[in-house]
């Protein structure tokens, strides 16, 4: 949602989880073919853009709201900086900008924080500049910034394939929280240790080369068809999980978090992206609240949230 306020333009950058993530073959460009169900969450960062300073200036001020404060990334690695630069190169928009970032999504958590910030920066720049670029022009820029960025231009629930750019929106009203249907609650848990995406893909490739053959993937129809049903029967998997579980050995962090999520009443539990955040899906919101009380005592990040509907931002 984009809001124009006195101090500038404020936009939310939601987190996501991958309810399902199959990593298929390695492509000639070095990326992997993916098949995934992405789900945007009602939890995320908040970005405020204001016009400030001389032409070409870009100040990004980051306030960390969860976990310990992280050092600010160097500009060339900061996806907001790269999104603004790309947008400027494409449109010729030069005015100086100040971006205040309220950072809630943990780094290296598989929740898409950097990617969502980048997508929101593109949407905010499109509004603030008045350039009014089309969705496909924004998608083209988004993919240059990262494989997960195109999804965040619209959010909601989606079947995502290719490198991350082929997006089929899924309308699953039962997922969404509203008083008539109940909806689902999502509990996020992170031990505080970040996971590097490139390293995780490389580890998966090494394991597959020597030990685990890539399994067959069920079709999009089969996987997404299950989404409207009882989460206890979801056939979803994440290809990184068996590799991480094997790597950490018996009673490791992932295995403990996932069993605690199940013990506290999750109807489904899984790993998001290439780690490091695990999630539990709860049909019972009260049970989810109790789970948070218990899990937040033990883990550095435990957050209750809900699926977020797709937004029409164009």
Complete edge-to-edge strand list for the sheet that includes strand 301-305: 268-271, 278-282, 185-190, 301-305
The reply to whether 303 sits near ligand C5P by the rule CB under 6 A is: no
- List all residues 6 or more positions away from 215 whose beta carbon is below 8 Å from its beta carbon: none
Contact between 20 and ligand C5P per CB under 6 A: no
Pick out residues in 129-158 that bind ligand C5P (CB under 6 A): 146-148
77 is annotated as an active-site residue: no
What CA–CA distances, in Å, run from 149 to 52, 92, 119?
Answer: 26, 22, 6
State both tokens at 128. 């603030």
Q: How many residues bind ligand C5P (CB under 6 A)?
A: 11
Which CB, 48 or 147, lies closer to ligand C5P? 147
For every residue of 222-284, DSSP letters joined together read: HHHHHTTS-GGG----BTHHHHHHHHH-TT-HHHHHHHHHHHTT-SEEEE-TTSS-EEEEES-
For position 32 contacting ligand C5P by CB under 6 A, the verdict is yes
- The CA R_g of the chain, rounded to the nearest whole Å, is 19
Q: How far is the CB of 107 from ligand C5P (least distance, A)?
A: 13
| Binds ligand C5P (CB under 6 A): choice among 17, 34, 37, 223 | 34
Q: Are strands 97-103 and 58-64 parallel, antiparallel or unpaired?
A: parallel
Closest approach, Cβ 164 to ligand C5P, in A, equals 5
> Does 313 interact with ligand C5P (rule: CB under 6 A)?
no
Please say which residue, 197 or 277, places its beta carbon nearer to ligand C5P.
Answer: 197
- Residue 201 is a binding residue for ligand C5P (CB under 6 A): yes
What's the burial of 252, exposed, middle or buried (CB within 10 Å: 0-12/13-18/19+)?
Answer: middle
Q: In terms of DSSP H, where are the helices of 149-226?
A: 197-210, 220-226
Residue among 5, 198, 209, 250 that touches ligand C5P (CB under 6 A):
198
Q: Which stretch binds ligand C5P (CB under 6 A): 13-21, 29-37, 59-67, 242-250?
A: 29-37
Residue closer to ligand C5P, measured from CB, 169 or 196: 196
C-alpha to C-alpha distance for 119 and 115, rounded to whole angstroms = 6
User: Restricting to residues 178-197, which ones interact with ligand C5P according to CB under 6 A?
Assistant: 197
What's the full length of the chain, in residues?
Answer: 314
Which of these is catalytic: 45, 103, 117, 148? 148
**CB of residue 68 vs ligand C5P: minimum separation in angstroms?**
24
Residue 164 is a binding residue for ligand C5P (CB under 6 A):
yes
* Residue in 12, 16, 103, 313 annotated catalytic: 16
16 catalytic residue (yes or no): yes
Q: How many CB atoms lie within 10 A of CB 3?
A: 11
Interacting residue ranges for ligand C5P, rule: CB under 6 A = 31-32, 34, 146-148, 163-164, 197-198, 201
Instruction: Please give the positions annotated as active site.
Output: 16, 148
């Amino acid at each position: 949602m984009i809001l124009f306020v006195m101090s500038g333009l404020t936009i939310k950058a939601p987190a996501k989880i991958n309810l399902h993530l199959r990593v298929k073959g390695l492509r000639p460009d070095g990326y992997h073919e993916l098949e995934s169900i992405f789900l945007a969450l009602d939890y995320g960062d908040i970005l405020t853009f204001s016009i400030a300073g001389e032409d070409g200036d870009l100040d990004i001020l980051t306030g960390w709201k969860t976990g310990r404060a992280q050092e600010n990334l160097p500009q060339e690695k900061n996806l907001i900086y790269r999104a603004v630069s790309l947008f400027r190169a494409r449109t010729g928009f030069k005015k100086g900008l100040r971006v205040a970032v309220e950072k809630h999504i943990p780094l290296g958590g598989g929740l898409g924080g950097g990617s969502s910030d980048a997508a929101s920066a593109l949407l905010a720049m499109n509004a603030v500049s008045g350039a009014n670029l089309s969705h496909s022009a924004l998608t083209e820029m988004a993919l240059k910034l990262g494989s997960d960025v195109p999804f965040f231009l619209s959010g909601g629930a989606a079947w995502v394939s290719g490198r991350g750019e082929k997006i089929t929106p899924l309308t699953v009203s039962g997922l969404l929280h509203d008083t008539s249907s109940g909806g689902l609650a999502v509990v996020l848990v992170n031990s505080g240790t970040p996971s590097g995406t490139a390293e995780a893909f490389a580890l998966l490739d090494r394991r597959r080369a020597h030990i685990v053959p890539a399994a067959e993937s069920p079709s999009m129809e089969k996987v997404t068809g299950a989404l409207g049903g009882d989460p206890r029967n979801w056939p979803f998997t994440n290809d990184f999980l068996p590799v991480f579980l094997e790597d950490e050995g018996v009673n490791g962090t992932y295995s403990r978090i996932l069993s605690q999520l199940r013990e506290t009443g999750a109807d489904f539990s899984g790993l998001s992206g290439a780690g490091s955040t695990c999630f539990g899906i709860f049909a019972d919101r009260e049970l989810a609240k109790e789970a948070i009380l218990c899990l937040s005592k033990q883990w550095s990040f435990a957050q209750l949230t809900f699926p977020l509907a797709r937004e029409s931002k164009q």
